[in-house]
Amino acid sequence: MNGRRHFIKKVIAGLTAFGGWSLLQRSGLAATDTALDTSTEKLIGKGALLKKTYRPPNYETPVNYFDTPFTPNSHFFVRYHHALIPEVNVENWRLRIGGDAIGTPLAFSLEQLRRDFETVEIAALCLCSGNRRSAFEPQVAGIQWDSGAMGNALWRGVRLRDVLAKAGINASALEVTLNGADSALLTTTPDFIKSLPLAKALDENTLIAFEMNGEPLPHWNGFPVRLIVSGWVATYWMKHLTEINVISKPLDNVWMKTSYRVPKNLFAGGQFSSQEIETTVPITDIAVNSLITNLLEGQTLPALKPLEIKGVAWDAGSGIARVEISTDDGISWQSATLQQDYGRFSWRQWRYDFVPNRTKQYRIMARATSHSGDSQPFEAVANPSGYHHNAVQKIAVQVV
């Protein structure tokens, strides 16, 4: 661990020697390692999370924290592609708007964003494309996420379309690119820059957020601002936003042309025609899914005692129409009770009362169906990157 810290310091020293440090300072950033606790490999400012990788930091939320409508900031999952994650000096930080299809390049401080634009709040699920990847058989490459690479939150900020309108969008506009403050240890590693189709960027539910669950964004979740792309997977939810460009040609980089793509026609999803090719398309819409949150595989339960089965269900934004539960390995299904609706982009809590009447093993399943008619399959749809694992969950419990 000390060797890794030494390597970080060497990189920072190199930035200083070649003028990169002053560039970071002018941007309101400081390349520090203070938020990583090398003695425990935990994240300072976060509660108990499940570590997948340490550098870059990738940590998932324990499932028991999903028993509330909104995932606590302290236990919200963390996902990064790069290991250098500067801490932002908000007084000097600016969000720069530019690109060849923008009328007037502009820059905004956090205070200006709050003051000059209408503030809105939306409940939305942030979900990593690879959530549940570890459940694919055979195993596929990538971080072996279980079910905790997601979180539901109340996001408060301003609409991206209002900010872009201030700068003026030209008729040639095709995509909107997003860049954040984090960077790779090696200069040869491509910067993590993503793009959105213009229509999604201008959607009223795409926000530049500066608050999460009523508090400023935590460092590990994008402080001072991040993008919220409601209904789409989290690869587009750029953290630590520093630059937004409106461009007239498709963004051509590894993060758009190679990564985060799925075979064409394999999944339903939002349109991103400028990035589609004959064989693959960018992953976009969140797939309908559900999760049992209060039972564990192999758990022992007492017979004849009422059991409340709890969970959450979600989709890309049409909303959850119903959740069905089976306690007999899929032979019969009963409707669960849907809890409060916080909006179509939020997950929906559900509950089901069950009294096990015999001492035996029960296989409990949960299946969600959206208002658009999409329902969870019984087997996950195989794909090279292990995205969209949304097969019906099965949990075996032993009643004694």
> Is 224 found in the same domain as 248?
yes
> Is 394 found in the same domain as 350?
yes
> In this structure, are residues 57 and 33 in contact, taking their beta carbons and an 8 Å threshold?
no
pLDDT score, position 38: 67
> Is 350 found in the same domain as 273?
no
> Is 368 found in the same domain as 278?
no
Last residue of a domain, one of 234, 249, 282: 282
The alpha carbon dihedral of 54, 55, 57, 63 has a sign of negative
* DSSP letter string, 306-374: -EEEEEEEE-SSS-EEEEEEESSTTS--EEPEE-----TTS-EEEEEEE---SSSEEEEEEEEEETTS-
And the tokens for 277? 């090719």
pLDDT score, position 7: 39
pLDDT score, position 25: 36
> What's the chain's Rg over C-alpha atoms?
22
pLDDT score, position 15: 36
**Spatial separation of the C-alpha atoms in residues 192 and 215, rounded to whole Å:** 26
pLDDT score, position 112: 98
Q: What is the domain-level CATH number for residue 247?
A: 3.90.420.10
> Is 22 found in the same domain as 57?
yes
Range of the domain at 395: 289-399
> Is 99 found in the same domain as 48?
yes
**Phi and psi (nearest 5°) for 88?**
-90, 130
Last residue of a domain, one of 282, 317, 345: 282
pLDDT score, position 155: 99
Q: How many domains does the chain have?
A: 2
> Is 145 found in the same domain as 293?
no
Mean pLDDT by groups of 10 residues along the chain of 400 residues: 40 35 39 60 94 96 96 98 95 98 98 98 98 97 98 98 98 98 94 98 98 98 98 98 98 98 93 96 98 96 94 98 96 98 98 94 97 97 98 96
From residue 68, how far is each of 72, 182, 347, 349 by CA, in Å? Answer: 8, 30, 10, 8
> Is 123 found in the same domain as 92?
yes
**Spatial separation of the C-alpha atoms in residues 308 and 324, rounded to whole Å:** 14
> Is 380 found in the same domain as 338?
yes
Last residue of a domain, one of 232, 258, 282: 282
Residues with Cβ within 8 Å of 341's Cβ and at least 6 positions away in sequence, in order, are: 319, 348
> Is 214 found in the same domain as 116?
yes
pLDDT score, position 37: 74
Q: What is the domain-level CATH number for residue 340?
A: 2.60.40.650
> Is 264 found in the same domain as 345?
no
> Is 277 found in the same domain as 303?
no
